[in-house]
Amino acid sequence: MQPEERYRTYSKHLKEKFGYKVYKLPVNLPGTCPNRDGTVGRGGCIFCDEEGSGFDALPNSLAVKDQLQTNKANFKKKFKAQKFIAYFQAFTNTYLPLEQFKANMQAAAEEPDIIGISISTRPDCISDAYLDYLQTLQQEYNLNINIELGLQTVNYHTLHRINRGHSLAEYVDAVLRTKKRGFEICTHLILNLPGDDREDIVEGAKLMSVLHSDYVKFHSLYVVRDTVLGDMYSKGEFEMISLEEYAQRVVTFLEYLDPTIVVQRLVGKGPAEKVLFSNWDVSWWKLRQAIEELLETKDTYQGRLFNYTNGAALAKV
């Protein structure tokens, strides 16, 4: 990683990997997770509302093919796009019954111009039967398949406080078993959860590097109405860090991150009509700009503090 690049971007990576621009098509399906239905907990994570992460997608009543075809037509018109990754975004997709999961994946695989599938799920919902099926699908259709794991933090005390319903161990286990099958991993992280500090940020970057999560996604904590976190925020039970501190945390994370890991996203956003707090009331692109400007100001870049010798050795374990 050269200093002038600052961090390894997803768009550039996709073009290098496939030889052309590739776009992700979101698929929003109804579902639940073991932290909602009583298997491991009730109510879900304290920051999650009933829509999960599918708030910015098509209605989940539409079939997989209908969503893909609609989004594909829009992306082709807007971006002149030709090749796509089907992104099963909302809820815990590998928690669906196996036959339903297979039908969803098959529908995406059969759709023209789909070259990959990205599947969002929880670390405690990675079953060998689902991985076996995905291996077969990948070989049959020559697809690039990756699993997106919502970890959010490496601090196991914070995982408990936010009612995540799994520990750090489940994440490590999921990564090892998934990568053993040859699938790529993308890890989701929230860098400003109440209780986390910069030591947690550094530890998170080190763990991503050791396990070699192929991709990482960052987003700041947004607060939605009618959630446990929303009630806590309204009552003043925790204080949100500043935008400047958040930008510093992202930069710190990048400095300790293996420079071969691709950064899919620096900034996320919440459902505008429901949020009590999101990105310090600035647009997502201005927040991204603040992070990139801090990288420039500090003259730093992804991997600057990464230990190549130890990182390479540990990654092989």
pLDDT digits (tens, 9 = 90+) for 86-140: 999 877 899 999 999 999 999 999 999 999 999 999 999 999 999 999 999 999 9
Q: How far is Cα 139 from Cα 249, in angstroms, rounded to an integer?
A: 40
The pTM assigned to this predicted structure is: 0.92
Range in 14-18, 90-94, 234-238 with the lowest mean pLDDT: 90-94
Q: Note the pLDDT of residue 142.
A: 96
The full set of domains in the chain, from first to last, is: 10-315 (3.20.20.70)
- The whole-number average pLDDT for the span 261-283 is 91
Question: Across residues 38-50, what is the average pLDDT?
Answer: 81
Distance CA 216, CA 14 (A): 14
Instruction: Look at residue 156 and give its three-state secondary structure.
Output: helix
- pLDDT, tens digit, 9 for 90 and up, residues 171-198: 999 999 999 999 999 999 999 999 999 9
Question: Stretch 257-282: mean pLDDT, rounded?
Answer: 92
Residues 136, 187, 45, CA angle at the centre, nearest 5°?
Answer: 105
Answer yes or no: is pLDDT of 315 > 70. Answer: no
State which H helix or E strand residue 227 sits in.
none
Please report the DSSP string for 110-156 in residue order.
Answer: HSTTEEEEEEEE-GGG--HHHHHHHHHHHHHHT-EEEEEEEEE-S-H
The residue among 49 and 156 whose pLDDT is bigger is 156
Query: What's the pLDDT score for residue 54?
Result: 46
- Which helix (H) or strand (E) segment holds residue 41: the answer is none
